[in-house]
Structure 1
Amino acid sequence: MSQLLFQDGQFYRDDKMVVGASSRALRYGDGLFETMKVNRDTIQLGDYHMQRLFDALHLLQFELPTHINPSYFLDRILQLVHRNGHGKLARIRLMVFRGNGGLYDSENHYPHHIIQSWSLPEANHHWNENGLVVGIHDKARKSIDILANSKTNNYLPYIMGALEAKNQKWNDALVLNNAGRISDSTIANVFLVSGNKITTPALEEGCVAGIMRRYLLEKLKANNRDVQEIAIQPADLENADEVFLTNSTYGIRWIKSIGNKNYTANLSLELYHLFIKPLFGITD
């Protein structure tokens, strides 16, 4: 059954062709996106998403008319999920991109945008009992530059990592930066646990400035947990007791194994109960 999408002020069927062959988004990946979660008609951490989005829009030198503001996007997202019947639990993708033109001839920096929604199963909220099998993708690497922390449409290192994960039958792949250190995974940020010490790659290491990463770091620091944002080598994975991933859709997912190394999930599960379940509104 066809659903609706929202583009530049109008609702369309999602099987409608909405981007032409001359689009800079298609030609050059000239744009960025946000992946969000709607839970019981509320956009989870919506203010955090809008802050990251508008920081990136300014970085990419979009020209924002006054009506393109956080409230505009948040309102349109809720309108879309209601029209699609996804208000209970949904994944949202908001893409912003420049219009048509070549590399040098675009004078239009208007933030064209497309919003899509998909329903999520209730299991998305729950702890992953079995753990993830993850590998390290060491071929296509993430650059450490001013774009690294934003979710731009230039996603090839993550695509290559996801292709390897699929071929190797992994659940996900860790991606390295151009210095050979851990950046993040193809769809999430990564945290290591050694004893009671929690570490995650610093933003300066080229990872995406993940929304769940930010939320969890704030909670950990507010609760006086030993947490550090540092440079992490692949060899550090061998010395970790636990490794887990975070993203806006599923919160926390623990990793069972990376290569021949197996992990536990004691602290990871504790953090899920302390910080993720309240965010998701789970009371059981």
Structure 2
Amino acid sequence: MALSSSSNYNGILYPSDRPLLTADNRGFRYGDGLFETLFVGPGGIRLSSYHFDRLVSGMRLLDLDVPPGFAEKIAGEVLTLCEANGSFASGAARVRLAVFRGESSFTGPVDRQPNYIIQSWPLAIAGDADETGLVLGLFPDGRKACDVLANLKSSNYLLYILAAQYARKQGLDECLVLNSRERLADATIASLFYVRDSVFYTPPLSEGVVDGVMRRYLLEALPGAGYTVVEQPVTVPDLMDADEVFLTNAIRGVIWVGAFQGRRFGRRLSAVVDEQLVKTL
């Protein structure tokens, strides 16, 4: 991905190729931080309240200060950066917001002041990959913990990075990750749903899944649209017995899965939900 022309570091715009962090930064050294990936249009951030609710909750869990008006300040700076970078050239922008602890030692006093970097790019318009759907695999190494930290959009992303590398080596589009209970958690950059007998299923947060923004939105929106949605643990046999499988994230919305471990899936209700509940946002 090409660099955006400018990046916002703690409220100041810098050229994107300028180094901003030192080797002592805790976000760099220890993954002591969080990030959000935002779908942004000229009118604002899609599902903004969900993003900032997750971010602020995570900051408090990491014992970072949340200054008064922090969310509103960041939201304004996101739009300013997108406009400065011409990131709305394709109609919408992809933004990465990272919030992290600054420079302090591992054993010394904890610095609670949040630092942040905002980057923006025009949102590339994907081709019609939905004609065949994603081909998923299963990452054989590493397991996701089932604790409160597992729900964070954490800068410590090593398990998902390794799963994504495995997917590329295997010629797969995406990879699912297992939790410590040997059940399915989520994909490397998306939450997992499946449909069986017109009922929607997804693993609960207690299964170690990231608290996905689009996942949360659909859990609230599906019942209002007349669909039944159930949060329950999901196993590989559950997925093999599904009628439809799809992934969700804040940028792409609903992403149809065409195949998993040789099993092909249809695309009926997931396409309707995408049109009715996501593309209308």
**Normalised by the shorter chain, which TM-score bucket?**
over 0.9
Return the match for 2:46 from 32, 44, 47. Answer: 44
Given the two structures, how large is their TM-score scaled by the length of structure 2?
0.95
| Partner-residue secondary structure (3-state), 2:80 | helix
Letter in 2 for 1:94: L
Letter in 1 for 2:97: L
Output aligned runs, 1:116-135, within 5 Å: 116-123=119-126, 128-135=130-137
CA contact (8 A) 1:100 1:106 kept: no
2:107 counterpart residue number: 104
The separation in 1 between residues aligned to 2:24 and 2:109, in whole angstroms, is 11
1:77 counterpart residue number: 78
Query: What are structure 2's unaligned runs of at least 5 residues?
Result: none
Output aligned runs, 1:270-281, within 5 Å: 270-279=272-281
- Residue 238 of structure 1 deviates from its aligned partner by 1.1
Query: Over the residues paired in the alignment, what is the CA RMSD in angstroms?
Result: 1.5
| Partner-residue secondary structure (3-state), 1:117 | strand
CA contact (8 A) 2:39 2:46 kept: yes
Letter in 1 for 2:214: M
Distance 1:3 1:78, change over 3 A: same
Distance 1:273 1:65, change over 3 A: closer
The separation in 2 between residues aligned to 1:269 and 1:46, in whole angstroms, is 24
1:282 counterpart residue number: none
The separation in 2 between residues aligned to 1:176 and 1:39, in whole angstroms, is 34
- Residue 2 of structure 1 deviates from its aligned partner by 5.9
CA contact (8 A) 2:96 2:119 kept: yes
Distance 1:173 1:141, change over 3 A: same
Question: Percent of counterpart pairs with the same letter?
Answer: 39
Query: Deviations for 1:107-126, whole angstroms, at most 9, x for unmatched residues?
Result: 321000000011112337x7
1:215 counterpart residue number: 217
The separation in 2 between residues aligned to 1:40 and 1:265, in whole angstroms, is 31
Query: Deviations for 1:45-71, whole angstroms, at most 9, x for unmatched residues?
Result: 11110111000000100123335x110
Distance 1:197 1:65, change over 3 A: closer
- Residue 217 of structure 1 deviates from its aligned partner by 1.3
The separation in 1 between residues aligned to 2:4 and 2:252, in whole angstroms, is 26
Return the match for 1:95 from 87, 93, 98. Answer: 98
Tell me, yes or no, if structure 1 residue 247 matches structure 2 residue 249. yes
CA contact (8 A) 2:4 2:85 kept: no
The separation in 2 between residues aligned to 1:2 and 1:59, in whole angstroms, is 31
The separation in 1 between residues aligned to 2:125 and 2:235, in whole angstroms, is 35
Query: What are structure 1's unaligned runs of at least 5 residues?
Result: 280-284
2:10 counterpart residue number: 8
Tell me, yes or no, if structure 1 residue 152 matches structure 2 residue 128. no
2:208 counterpart residue number: 206
- Residue 128 of structure 1 deviates from its aligned partner by 2.1
The separation in 2 between residues aligned to 1:271 and 1:64, in whole angstroms, is 35
The separation in 1 between residues aligned to 2:54 and 2:25, in whole angstroms, is 24
| Partner-residue secondary structure (3-state), 1:96 | strand
Letter in 2 for 1:163: Q
The separation in 1 between residues aligned to 2:252 and 2:23, in whole angstroms, is 34
Q: Provide the aligned length of Structure 1 versus Structure 2.
A: 277
The separation in 2 between residues aligned to 1:2 and 1:163, in whole angstroms, is 24
- Residue 156 of structure 1 deviates from its aligned partner by 1.0
The separation in 2 between residues aligned to 1:276 and 1:144, in whole angstroms, is 29
- Residue 13 of structure 1 deviates from its aligned partner by 0.5
Query: Deviations for 1:11-47, whole angstroms, at most 9, x for unmatched residues?
Result: 0011010111011111111101011111234211111
1:66 counterpart residue number: 68
